[in-house]
Amino acid sequence: MSTSTSPHPAPAPAPAKTAKTSRLRPSGQLWTVLRLHRTALWVWVAFVVISIGVLLWVRYGSTGVDAAATLAGCGTAGHRACDEWMWSDTALVTTRDRLLEIGQVLRNLAPVVAAWAGAALIGRELENGTAELAWTQSVSPARWLATKLAVPAAFLTVGAGVLVASYRMLLDWSVTHHMLRAGYEKYTLYFNIGPATVAYTLLGLAVGALAALLLRRAVPALVAGAAAAWLLTVAIAPWRGSLWPVGAVGDSSLWHLPGSDSCGGGIYNHNLIDSVDPCISAQPADHYLPVQLVETGIVLALAAVLVLISFRVLHRRNA
Amino acid sequence: MSALALRGPAWLVARQHGRTLGWGAVALVLLIVVRLVLLGWTYVDVVQTCMSVIGFLPALFGLFVAGPMIARDLESGAYRLLWTQSVSPARWLTAKLALPAAGAVATMLVLAGLCRWALSFKPDGAQGMEWYADQVYPLIGPLGAARALAYIAIGALVGILVRRTIPAMVASFVAIGIVEFAFNFARGHLGTATTLYSTLDEGMRGAPGIFVADGNVTSTGAKIGDACVSDQCMREHDISGYFNTYIPHFWPTQLIETGLVLAVAALALTLTFRLLRTKAAS
């Protein structure tokens, strides 16, 4: 937003090419993408750094330390059983809520990325004609789109990968301290701690790009891209339970975190969380990786198909 | 047609953005339908899906005013043309804001009536659909309309400040999010609270109202926010039971919050017109 305070309604900053560039400076199209979208780049870097800060704070902040201390020694003489959940303990409930909220943020990256890709990355350039300008400057449309997608994809993969790995470490910590109860909330958390989250982020990029190429205007592409990405994530979610043959009894739509307390030992108060009975439907923990990988594969394949369609649309427009 | 026809800058606003409004409404309905096709058409799913979309409407109005309505005009320079065509900057902004504000308030009031009506068929014990649930509370009174006004005003302020379509939408989204979070956070302080007490054997009782605080009570009657887990802790603090503090009434809190949100709207509007005057003068 730093550029927004400039006194003039600035057009897209033109890549003012200097004659002498240093060896480290990327050249040509790559430089253009990095330079043009530097605000978004910094926002993404800041988001990743701040999120990691929040994760560290949840664990090492006073609330997290209190929550761990509350449950320390559970199951031994003079303490309650580990599976007895104290809803009235503020530190515990707050920590649990934070874990869930971070999970929600990670789950909803795809629509945000799609909105950005649709509006700022591609839609804006098609709307104001700078894309056509680039295509006349010895950059073919296909190469233009390829760079536009590859650079953000690299940043998104690294950033989301780091976030997912950190979040997983935080969840492992909370599982060791018996902070997670059986069922519902684990289901929410479960899908955020594997490569599928990274795949969804990339799917968001592909959806936004396609929306922009079809609509060729920034704000409609923003809205359509975000809505479509959100719908896709919602549409895929119900199928997760049936992605892999189920050995356990009952409804296959609920999961256990690998390594957590067994479901039978968990306490679950249906008056306090929404409506799902968890304990009848746990999946064995060793199903975790296959299901994650299958889901990741499906999401990545979908993203690849959308990218292919995007190139086709671009080709047809310019033919 | 002729009696209702808009003139001057108001006509321009309606003409420029009417179609977007139509498409937006179609998109939202489509979103609801697709979600319900995936989830199922039970009463709870239908009402919750509709209410979560309605809950986002005030923010969407704000984003739209900030980006496509105000920042885009400033970005493209279209405002200069208007300002030289006998439309003063203040009148330009008034026309831009009056129509969407009136429409948004009317929409939110009608939807509040619809939500109240829909919730009157609520099955017993439907979780998360009580009047004090975060999703429900703003949508069954005047608060939704007040939010729409405030977010439109915030959108206008951000649009004038940022002057670029997409950054303005992002910035107003952040600003609106902060305001909404602050009000949700402060709600427990806006009203007279009651406290329910219960013994250890009874366990903590659910409170039918806006959450304020809960925890343990010692034998002296002192309230401890953090409840004990170990028996040792119970003995040390001499804990005798639980308490749960909540606001039991809907209207007083709703009206106070509506008033405060309207004050935010007035503040943002004043700032916007002031900024516009200094910008137009320079």
Instruction: Name the residue ranges covered by the structural domains of chain B.
Output: 8-189+250-281, 194-247
B279 membership: H or E segment, kind and range:
helix B251-281
Residue-level pLDDT at A3: 42
Residue A185 contacts residue A73 (beta carbons within 8 Å): no
For residue B193 the two structure tokens come to 């609270």
Answer yes or no: do A89 and B230 touch at CB < 8 A.
no
For residue B31 the two structure tokens come to 């979103």
Residue A70 contacts B, CB cutoff 8 Å: yes
Chain B positions touching A231 (Cβ under 8 A) are 31, 34-35
Strand partners, B246: B194, B211
Which residues fall within 8 angstroms of residue A75, CB to CB, at 6 or more apart?
Answer: A81, A82
Mean pLDDT for A27-51 is 90
**Of A224-238, A280-294, B92-106, B128-142, where does mean pLDDT reach its minimum?**
A280-294
Residue B242 contacts A, CB cutoff 8 Å: yes
Residue-level pLDDT at A259: 36
Mean pLDDT for A84-105 is 76
**Of A27-41, A179-193, A217-231, B117-131, where does mean pLDDT reach its minimum?**
A179-193
- Give the C-alpha distances (Å, rounded to integers) separating A258 from A56, A146, B190: 22, 38, 43
Q: H/E/C letters for each residue in chain A?
A: CHHHHCCCCCCCCCCCCCCCCCCCCCCHHHHHHHHHCHHHHHHHHHHHHHHHHHHHHHHHCHHHHHHHHHHCCCCCCCCCCCCCCCCCCHHHHHHHHHHHHHHHHHHCHHHHHHHHHHHHHHHHHHHHCHHHHHHHCCCCHHHHHHHHHHHHHHHHHHHHHHHHHHHHHHHHHHHHCCCCCCCHHHHHHHCCCCHHHHHHHHHHHHHHHHHHHHHCCHHHHHHHHHHHHHHHHHHHHHHHHHCCCCCCCCCCCCCCCCCCCCHHHCCCCCCCCCCCCCHHHCCCHHHHHHHHHHHHHHHHHHHHHHHHHHHHHHHHHHC
| pLDDT tens-place string over residues A44-65 | 999 999 999 999 999 999 888 8
Answer yes or no: do B216 and A90 touch at CB < 8 A.
no
Is the alpha carbon torsion for B67, B10, B149, B156 positive or negative? positive
d(CA B111, CA B224): 41
Which carries the bigger pLDDT value, residue B229 or residue A247?
Answer: B229
Answer yes or no: do A120 and B166 touch at CB < 8 A.
yes
Chain B positions touching A10 (Cβ under 8 A) are 164
Judge whether residue A240 has pLDDT over 70: no
What is the DSSP secondary structure assignment for residue B204, as one 8-state letter? P
d(CA A205, CA A152): 8
Answer yes or no: do A89 and B214 touch at CB < 8 A.
no
Judge whether residue A123 has pLDDT over 90: yes
Residue-level pLDDT at B159: 96
d(CA A212, CA A152): 15
Judge whether residue A190 has pLDDT over 80: no
Chain A positions touching B165 (Cβ under 8 A) are 218-219
d(CA A120, CA A113): 10
**Of A145-159, A300-314, B79-93, B222-236, where does mean pLDDT reach its minimum?**
B222-236
Phi, psi (degrees; rounded to nearest 5) at B2: -70, -35
- Give the C-alpha distances (Å, rounded to integers) separating B115 from B22, B44, B49, B129, B144: 22, 13, 12, 11, 11
The pairing of beta strand B210-218 with beta strand B239-247:
antiparallel
Judge whether residue A261 has pLDDT over 70: no
d(CA A287, CA A282): 11
Pick from B35, B68, B242: which is nearest to A219 by CB? B68
Residue A239 contacts B, CB cutoff 8 Å: no
**Of A44-53, A280-289, B244-253, where does mean pLDDT reach its minimum?**
A280-289
- Give the C-alpha distances (Å, rounded to integers) separating A35 from A16, A31, A105, A146, B75: 10, 6, 27, 16, 20
Mean pLDDT for B81-91 is 82
Q: pLDDT class for A198, splitting at 50, 70, 90? A: very high
Residue-level pLDDT at A225: 94
Q: What does pLDDT average to over chain A?
A: 76
| pLDDT tens-place string over residues B50-73 | 998 999 999 999 999 999 899 998
Judge whether residue A87 has pLDDT over 80: no
Pick from B34, B164, B216: which is nearest to A4 by CB? B164
Residue-level pLDDT at A36: 87
Question: CA-nearest residue of chain A to B230?
Answer: A79
B227 membership: H or E segment, kind and range:
none
Pick from A39, A238, A271: which is nearest to B38 by CB? A238
Answer yes or no: do B166 and A119 touch at CB < 8 A.
yes
Chain B positions touching A80 (Cβ under 8 A) are 229-231
Which carries the bigger pLDDT value, residue B13 or residue B282?
Answer: B13
Pick from B24, B127, B165: which is nearest to A274 by CB? B127
Q: pLDDT class for A238, splitting at 50, 70, 90? A: low
Q: Is B123 helix (H, G, I), strand (E, B) or coil?
A: coil
Mean pLDDT for B130-154 is 95
Chain B positions touching A223 (Cβ under 8 A) are 24, 27
Residue-level pLDDT at A252: 36
Give A5 to chain B, closest Cα distance, Å.
6
Residue B208 contacts A, CB cutoff 8 Å: no
Give the angle subtended at the CA of B137 by the CAs of B131 and B143, to the nearest 5°.
Answer: 140
